[in-house]
Structure 1
Amino acid sequence: MRWTTPVIGTVFSVWMVTSLALAVDYMTDHCGEVLPVSGGGVLVSQPEPRYPGGLDCQLTLSADSGKYIHIKVISLSIDCDGDSLSVYRGGSVALFELLGSPICGTSSQSAFTTEEGGYFSLTNKMTLHFVTDSGSASEGSGFKIVYAAYDTGPCSPSDFQCSNSRCVSAELACDMHDHCGDDSDETSCINGSTSNLGTGKIVGIIVGAIIVVIFLATGLAYFICFRRRDNNQISKSPAVVYSTRQYRGQQV
């Protein structure tokens, strides 16, 4: 019998990665729209490998009333010759404050400035403006941003309390992205603490552990039955029986 555990480990690993994945949206698919922010997500500039020229795209992230929005640029490849991404506090480019300078360059360069830990809104809205030179061909791969809604407390039981006193959804803790702005939602995981995991993740981990145990128990039961069957077959093999006459004949 061949029974191996790597398949179980692979299934469990895939489940864990899937459970940690954030929803991904593409900015060019939502130009001029308002994108609701309930917990957190990932915003990528475009679905294609490289962004096109002639873009003038605005997108507003909108959280629930009383909450704020934090965004962090995690990858960037925007040509600085006429292309840029601008971040505004509020729901309009015309009426609200530009945060820092327009962003361009690459992740390896210091071509853009941010506040410590990313950008933070002053209201429940934040607007992004992505512009590319109409005369240029595709110059870069664009950007990837992680965003999250937060408030300043007191935190509810369904929230994770950051070290900087901000409150983000507990479902965002330990997902390998900094949603707090100080990385405290990930640091606790590095230290081995799971006390701040959301209920959904805890339930998921328990279910995953139960599935693994069931696989192991099933494999062990099958192995035991297989061994018993082999032992029964050996015990039922015909034995050589000598009669008294044959035995005496052999002795002579």
Structure 2
Amino acid sequence: MKWKTPAIFVFCVWVTTSLAVEYMTDHCGEVLPVAGGGVLVSQPEDQYSGGTDCQLTLSAHSGNYIHVTVHTMSINCNGDSLSIYRGRSVALFELLGSPICGTSQIAFTTEEGGYFSSTNKLTLHFVSDSSSSPKGSGFNITYAEYNTSPCSSAEFPCSNARCISADLTCDMHDHCGDGSDETGCTNGSNSHLSAGKIVGIIVGVIIVVIFFATALAYFTCFRRHDDSQSSKSPAVVYSTRQYRGQRV
């Protein structure tokens, strides 16, 4: 039996983070549109495999930039690493910092609060050696598209003069690079929900109500059908004469 994620669980995750989740090894060699922001996980499996050589380019709208924050990482430093480059090619553009690996938060945290592109593209390169030695769980990063002020009405003005989508505020991820999009939040929730989130919540609630109402109606009708079938079953009645005749 194949397990399917309940729709209500998917909806709750979407409302909480507002971020699309992608797996890097599913998009090797591709250009992935940023479209506001998202979460990038190294691979769908619990641990990455040996012989990995995956390159992925994040692409924002023309004139915008990309900010990447590495949240968790478990990469074996014996030949395995993640490298982040400015631009759309490993060969042609600048490596940001140095290849990163390990599990220490200090090892993959920059003083600038993450990694920032100089154009609308940023490239990641994830490699592992071919050995069959135990590997790590890989990495989990968030990426966000930003531009410089003045910000539009659909954007949030960061304290560092960057503009990000208003939908990325108060989702427990630092998309600005200075944490200003997470200030004034209550338990990671956004006290000033955007119109998109409000519509999404309303639609989600309606879907959940319709689902449970349909399920209730189905089971009610099914039970009534069973009861009606039981009431129509013919009763066997023996007359006194038949009963006596059988005993003689």
TM category (shorter chain) comes to 0.7 to 0.9
CA 1:14 to 1:56, structure 2 compared with 1: closer, same or farther past 3 Å? closer
Is the counterpart of residue 76 in structure 1 residue 77 in structure 2?
Answer: no
Divergent runs of 4+, >6 A: 206-211
Q: Hey, what does 1:180 align to over in structure 2?
A: 176
SS across alignment from 1:59: strand
CA distance in 2, matches of 1:16, 1:109: 28
Structure 2 residue aligned with 1:53, among 16, 33, 50?
A: 50
Q: In the TM superposition, what is the alpha-carbon distance from 1:135 to its structure 2 partner?
A: 2.1
Q: 1:165 aligns with which of 154, 161, 165?
A: 161
Contact 2:169 2:190 in 1 (8 A): no
Match of 1:20 in 2: 16
Amino acid at match of 2:40: L
Q: Is the 8 A contact 1:35 1:62 kept in 2?
A: yes
Match of 2:26 in 1: 29
Using the alignment, how far apart are the partners of 2:114 and 2:56 within structure 1? Answer: 18
Q: Are the aligned partners of 1:63 and 1:124 in contact in 2 as well (CA < 8 Å)?
A: yes
Superposition CA RMSD, Å: 2.6
Match for 1:55: what amino acid? T
The size of the alignment, in residue pairs, is 200
Per the normalisation by structure 2, the TM-score is 0.73
CA–CA separation in structure 2 for the residues paired with 1:50 and 1:170: 34
- How far 1:19 sits from its partner (Å)? 1.1
Q: Which residue does the alignment assign to 2:242? A: none
What is the rounded CA distance, in whole Å, between the counterparts of 1:89 and 1:95 in structure 2? 9
The Cα of 1:166 is off from its aligned counterpart by 0.6
Q: How many angstroms does 1:74 deviate by?
A: 0.6
CA distance in 1, matches of 2:60, 2:88: 11
SS of equivalent residue, structure 1 residue 35 = strand
SS at 1:49's partner residue?
coil
5+ residue gaps in structure 1? 1-11, 212-252
Q: Indicate conservation of the 8 Å contact 2:70/2:108, yes or no.
A: no
Alignment of 1:1-252 (within 5 A): 17-21=13-17, 22-106=19-103, 108-190=104-186, 194-195=191-192, 197-204=193-200
Three-state SS of the structure 1 residue aligned to 2:96 is strand
Deviation readout 1:83-125 (Å, 9 max, x if unpaired): 000000100001111001101000x353335242110100000
* Percent identity between the two aligned chains: 72
Change (3 A) 1:64 1:14: closer
Distance change in 2, residues 1:85/1:175 (3 Å): same
CA contact (8 A) 1:86 1:102 kept: yes
Q: Larger deviation: 147-156 or 110-119?
A: 110-119
Structure-2 change in CA distance of 1:141 and 1:209 (3 Å): closer
In structure 2, relative to structure 1, the CA distance for the partners of 1:163 and 1:205 (3 Å cut) is: farther
- Which is greater in Rg? 1
TM-score (norm 1): 0.71
What letter is aligned with 1:48? E
